[in-house]
């Protein structure tokens, strides 16, 4: 498919770079919030899901249940916003979803807690998480469509990898803000979230700060998207035609199977890790945050090189390598973290390496999904494939891991979870005919 024409060569680069910025910045906002939610899961549990007499483990499970619910609304958002984006264009829908995401996330920072609003507090939080799930479902498909449809020939892997790279930046931003607050405040101060605090003392409600920071980030993303052009592929090729339903459904299932390992391993090592280290291994809040930052640094380090490599040798071999490594090494990695005799340096290298391996799947992943679908169903198709795999294997990661560890006492559960999902992705990728990346 030819996306660019020689007569317009002088305008391609600015449009492509603008699309790269506008498409990726929304992912940064979205995943910043998810990183914050993961890092502050234990704080949120104590402030929103713990009535008097409730246990900490029970509250953490409820927190992750709210987390999972948002993910199950992602496919709904992918279908709703995706179909709209395939009919009216990528640009207007991406503007709509960034506004919805920003407002919902900022409002979390203004919510009353259980001590103030009683049982209404967790319901309000869950409602905002649902809005986030809907908007996130519409974000991925549109952002990847914009970046890959503007990409120069032979550079879809590189351009698509920026979606994943800004995911890493968002998670790092969330973990970084949490780490800064964790280093300058006590754990009691971190937990302050308006639990009956008089108005004049509410400057101590530090738990709200990371969520409120979404507002300026979202406004910057909105400004970039208002300046975005519609993609050449959509203008030229996306007509309102009857979609080949059977082929689209098959492509969605195939795409979801290919990226389920990325989804499960990514959330296990990059988002759920801090709460797991605290609740299962007894680590301190700051120690858990440092491990999370290192894992996300490793993730960020390999994404763009992996996307660029996939433009040269194909998506499949790069993603297959990452999925195989997680399948084989997830449990040994976890055992290193569990061993009190392992030095901090070795543990740090291990979590950095875990993030780096996930990046091998995340770098080529967006371009691989984009290439599965024709232009007129691309927003919907790739959004659904990604949303379905994330709903089941990312959104449920914290809930499944925390509940299973609590019930069985087996602290190896995260390793089994990530390895099993990646094994399925290995099969899906291995059975795919090898094609030259375009």
In this prediction, residue 386 carries a pLDDT of 93
Give the mean model confidence (pLDDT) for residues 90-107.
92
Residue 195 DSSP one-character state? S
Q: How far is CA 36 from CA 31, 169, 276, 403, in A?
A: 8, 12, 15, 21
Is it the case that residue 120 has pLDDT exceeding 80? yes
**Per-residue pLDDT reduced to its tens digit, 370-390:** 999 988 899 999 999 999 998
Contact yes or no for 152/118 (Cβ under 8 A): no
Spatial distance between the Cα atoms of 109 and 208, rounded to a whole number of angstroms: 4
What are the backbone dihedrals phi and psi of residue 110, each rounded to the nearest 5 degrees, phi first? -110, 5
**Per-residue pLDDT reduced to its tens digit, 206-236:** 557 778 888 898 999 999 999 888 888 888 8
412 three-state secondary structure: coil
List the domain boundaries for the chain.
Answer: 16-230+243-430
Q: How far is CA 212 from the centre of its chain?
A: 19
**Per-residue pLDDT reduced to its tens digit, 244-283:** 667 788 899 999 999 999 999 988 888 777 677 776 777 7
Residue 434 DSSP one-character state? P
Give the mean model confidence (pLDDT) for residues 77-96.
93
Burial degree of 36 (CB within 10 A; 0-12, 13-18, 19+): buried
In this prediction, residue 344 carries a pLDDT of 81
Cβ neighbours of residue 309 under 8 Å, at least 6 residues apart?
157, 318, 363, 364
Give the mean model confidence (pLDDT) for residues 87-94.
92
Q: Name the most confidently modeled range: 15-24, 94-103, 341-350.
A: 94-103
pLDDT band of residue 198 (cuts 50, 70, 90) is very low
Whole-number CA gyration radius for the chain: 21
Residue 238: left (phi > 0), alpha (psi -120 to 50), or beta? beta
In this prediction, residue 56 carries a pLDDT of 58
**What's the pTM value of the predicted model, to 2 decimals?**
0.81
Is it the case that residue 63 has pLDDT exceeding 70? no
Is it the case that residue 319 has pLDDT exceeding 50? yes
The pair of structure tokens assigned to 134 is: 């809907």
Q: How far is CA 152 from CA 9, 233, 332, in A?
A: 10, 12, 41
CATH fit for domain 16-230+243-430, picks 1.10.3720.10, 1.10.10.10, 1.20.1250.20, 2.60.40.420: 1.20.1250.20
Percent of the chain with pLDDT over 70: 79
Neighbours of 325 (CB within 10 A): 19
Is it the case that residue 394 has pLDDT exceeding 80? no
pLDDT band of residue 162 (cuts 50, 70, 90) is very high
Give the mean model confidence (pLDDT) for residues 203-208.
53
Give the mean model confidence (pLDDT) for residues 317-327.
97
Give the mean model confidence (pLDDT) for residues 166-182.
78
42-51, 235-244, 339-348: segment of lowest average pLDDT: 235-244
Burial degree of 45 (CB within 10 A; 0-12, 13-18, 19+): buried
Is it the case that residue 8 has pLDDT exceeding 50? no
Spatial distance between the Cα atoms of 50 and 376, rounded to a whole number of angstroms: 47
Give the mean model confidence (pLDDT) for residues 42-49.
68
In this prediction, residue 115 carries a pLDDT of 74
In this prediction, residue 330 carries a pLDDT of 93
**Per-residue pLDDT reduced to its tens digit, 342-357:** 788 888 898 899 999 9
Give the mean model confidence (pLDDT) for residues 38-50.
68
Residue-wise over 265-296: b if at least 16 C-beta within 10 A, else e? bbbbbbbbbbbbbbbbeebebebbbbbbbbbb
Q: How far is CA 221 from CA 20, 102, 340, 416, in A?
A: 12, 9, 44, 38
13-22, 355-364, 428-437: segment of lowest average pLDDT: 428-437
Burial degree of 432 (CB within 10 A; 0-12, 13-18, 19+): middle
93-102, 172-181, 301-310, 373-382: segment of lowest average pLDDT: 172-181
pLDDT band of residue 318 (cuts 50, 70, 90) is very high
Give the mean model confidence (pLDDT) for residues 107-128.
81
Average pLDDT of the chain to the nearest whole number: 81
């Amino acid at each position: 498919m030819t996306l660019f024409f020689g007569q317009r060569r002088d305008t391609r680069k600015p449009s492509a770079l603008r699309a790269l910025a506008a498409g990726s910045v929304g992912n940064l906002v979205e995943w910043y919030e998810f990183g914050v939610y993961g890092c502050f899961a234990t704080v949120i549990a104590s402030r929103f899901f713990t009535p008097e007499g409730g246990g900490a483990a029970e509250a953490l499970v409820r927190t992750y249940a709210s987390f999972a619910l948002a993910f199950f609304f992602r496919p709904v958002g992918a279908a709703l916003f995706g179909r709209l984006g395939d009919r009216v264009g990528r640009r207007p829908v991406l503007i709509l979803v960034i506004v919805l995401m920003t407002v919902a996330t900022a409002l979390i920072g203004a919510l009353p807690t259980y001590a103030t609003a009683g049982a209404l507090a967790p319901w309000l939080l869950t409602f905002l998480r649902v809005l986030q799930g809907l908007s996130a479902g519409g974000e991925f498909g549109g952002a990847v469509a914009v970046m890959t449809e503007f990409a120069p020939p032979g550079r879809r892997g590189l351009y698509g990898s920026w979606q994943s790279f800004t995911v890493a930046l968002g998670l790092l931003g969330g973990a970084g803000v949490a780490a800064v607050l964790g280093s300058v405040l006590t754990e009691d101060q971190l937990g302050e979230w308006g639990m009956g605090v008089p108005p004049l003392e509410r400057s101590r409600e530090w738990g709200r700060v990371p969520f409120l920071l979404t507002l300026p980030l979202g406004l910057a993303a909105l400004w970039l998207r208002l300046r975005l052009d519609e993609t050449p592929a959509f203008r030229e090729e996306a007509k309102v035609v009857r979609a080949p339903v059977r082929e689209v459904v098959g492509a969605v299932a195939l795409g979801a199977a290919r990226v389920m390992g990325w989804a499960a391993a990514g959330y296990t090592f990059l988002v759920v890790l801090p709460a797991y280290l605290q609740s299962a291994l007894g680590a301190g809040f700051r120690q858990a945050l440092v491990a999370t930052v290192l894992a996300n640094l490793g993730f960020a380090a390999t994404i763009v090189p992996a996307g660029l490599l996939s433009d040269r040798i194909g998506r499949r071999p790069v993603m297959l390598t990452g999925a195989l490594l997680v399948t084989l090494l997830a449990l040994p990695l976890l055992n290193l973290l569990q061993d009190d005799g392992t030095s901090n340096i070795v543990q740090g290298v291990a979590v950095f390496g875990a993030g780096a391996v996930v990046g091998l799947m995340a770098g080529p992943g967006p371009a691989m999904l984009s290439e599965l679908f024709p232009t007129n169903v691309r927003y919907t198709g790739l959004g659904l494939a990604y949303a379905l795999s994330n709903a089941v294997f990312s959104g449920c990661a914290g809930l499944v891991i925390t509940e299973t560890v609590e019930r069985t006492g087996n602290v190896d559960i995260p390793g089994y979870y990530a390895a099993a999902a990646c094994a399925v992705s290995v099969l899906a990728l291995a059975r795919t005919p090898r094609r030259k990346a375009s």
